[in-house]
Amino acid sequence: MLPRTRDDYDNAKTSKIRLTFTKRYLRVTWFRGLVFVALSCILLFTIYIRWDNNFTPDTSEKQFDDTFERPVETLVQTQFHPPIYTPAHTPTSAPTHTTTYTETHTSVVHDTINWKERQNAVREAFKHAWGGYVRDAWGCDEYHPISHRGSNLTGIGIGFTIVDSLDTLLIMDLKEEFQHARDWVSNSLNFEQNGSVNVFETTIRVLGGLLSAYHLAGNDTLFLSKAIDLGDRLLGAFSSSSGIPYASVNLSSKQGIPAHFVGGASSTSEATTLQLEFKYLSHLTGNEKYWKKAEEVMFKIDSLQKLDGLVPIYLDPHSGNFVGSTITLGARGDSYYEYLLKQYLQTSRTEPIYLRMYDQSMDGVKSRLVNYSSPSKLLYIGELLNDDFNPKMDHLVCFMGGNFALGVTHGKTVREINHFNFKELEDLRIGKELTKTCTEMYFRTATGLAPEIVYFTGSSDSEKDISIKRFDSHNLLRPETVESLFIMWRLTGDVQYREWGWKIFEAFEKHTKFEGGGYTSLEDVTSTSPGRRDKMETFWLAETLKYFYLLFGPNDQIPLDKYVFNTEAHPLPIFIPRRKVRGQGWNRQ
């Protein structure tokens, strides 16, 4: 008989029986241990997955003050109340289309165009633009080519043009020019200035530019140390009672400064287009403070009432509520929607909350804002003004063509994915059609360049789809259409996008190149004598020319499944967040 209890063991007469007991004891203990370890693993894995999908909010750190009341006259409206239910506008009949994804290649096989040569033409254009700036305005924030001078946004300037251009210089392999710019950053860039800057513009252009340059230059710590210095100063903007950043910040005192209009409200797109940059800064430094501040804004917005995921374009930094009811994917609304998707992609799809927010907002776009013009049935995205549909579209909205497609493939090509559900096919179609509409905004003007704003006509007897008001007919060298052409080309492989891009590039060359150096904005694209404006926006170097260059270049340069472009076209690598520096996330209410 084998021993079963301690007493049996103690009473055992022979060492053989004792040995048998010991073996049995070890076997049982080993088996129990194994079961314990397995159960622990399952438990830990379950906790991790739940935590990963829906993080628990750290309420101890959040300071929301919804009770704060602002003087009535300073705000248009302190709280946005979406209508209980208003039926979506009735779109002008959509064109019939198939539900399967079809590629409309002009045919890559028969494509005999020398794209390398065209890419080089873009590089030459960049050199022309850069050369004028270097000669006339070196070190200044902005460049005025006609008067051959530069100007600063504050004090001695904060590197708007130079820092915004660093990664384009690297991507175009302009080594000498890059070294010149790097030396300036090393010797002259100084953020210790008693002046205020716009938080959003400084984040997307300067912080984004430094972070992208850090990565593309092979982890050059000069750029990271400058980014940390700037990031710490920008954090001061988040000192409002709601956590919504003020529009501006004083670089020296780090004091947040409310906007001078709409009762001090911040633009929704501005408050929600800092997250890619702040999160990447946390990832690089191991310091979670940037991530947490940026994430808190998204948590706050997620808790507010929306109209099918659509948001008004102002936020009160004191109460944290929306102000007014204007809804647009143009000025002051645009990149809110862009960064919902890109935040999801940036952290390797580990934060599904952003995809849910993005999907909801796109449902709202499709049900309330997408419409078709007459007679050509061009798809466009209109606006809501006090719940009324307005057939107006800013050029800024043109980023949405590429964004819709990116939301379907997440940076893979349509060939790689191959299978799409109905919703995905619909989003791809909208992306394609909107991109086409945006090219029509170029091709239907006297200069072949798009105006800042267009209106679409909807009545069955209208003769033209697009009308342009004189006040809206300028062109600032904006990138959004080229951005969508680049993304659509990469994702679909349809050479049509490259051809449209080349046509647009030629129009820019013809009308905006300034022989005296640089490129200029235009007064009126509807005239064959469009008139010049004395300004070359920094996004011409940072975005428009970069997207042209990548559109005509090989597909493996900055692949879309490895990078997210910030809203100023600075590529930031996609990463897996480390536990230590990721945000807290939140549970939806």
Residues that bind ligand DMJ (CB under 6 A): 335, 396, 478-479, 539, 543, 567-568
The torsion of the CA quartet 563, 169, 548, 532, rounded to 10 degrees, works out to 130
Place of tokens 């530069």: 150
Q: How far is the CB of 567 from ligand DMJ (least distance, A)?
A: 4
Q: Is 567 annotated as a binding residue?
A: yes
Among candidate residues 167, 334, 351, 472, the one labeled active-site is 334
Among candidate residues 383, 440, 480, 537, the one labeled active-site is 480
Q: How far is the CB of 72 from ligand DMJ (least distance, A)?
A: 32
Neighbours of 388 (CB within 10 A): 9
Provide the b/e sequence for 298-308 (b: ≥16 CB within 10 Å).
bbbbeeeebbb
Tokens of 478: 């904006």
Whether 201 is catalytic is yes
Among candidate residues 201, 351, 359, 537, the one labeled active-site is 201
Q: How far is the CB of 342 from ligand DMJ (least distance, A)?
A: 11
The answer to whether 133 and 518 are in contact (CB under 8 A) is yes
Q: How far is the CB of 461 from ligand DMJ (least distance, A)?
A: 34
Place of tokens 């999160």: 279
DSSP class of residue 448? Answer: S
Neighbours of 387 (CB within 10 A): 13
Residue 480 φ/ψ, nearest 5 degrees:
-60, -40
Whether 461 is catalytic is no
Whether 295 is catalytic is no
Upper half-sphere CA count for residue 163 (Cβ side, 13 Å): 32
Q: How far is the CB of 276 from ligand DMJ (least distance, A)?
A: 12
Provide the 3-class DSSP secondary structure of residue 402.
helix
Q: Which residue type is seen at 473?
A: S
Provide the 3-class DSSP secondary structure of residue 380.
strand
Q: Nearer Cβ to ligand DMJ, position 335 or 457?
A: 335
| Cα distances (angstroms) measured from residue 56 to each of 62, 226, 251 | 13, 33, 33
Helix ranges (DSSP H) in 70-197? 115-137, 160-171, 175-187
Whether 192 is catalytic is no
Binding site for Ca(2+), residues?
567
Q: Would you name the residues annotated as active-site residues?
A: 201, 334, 452, 480
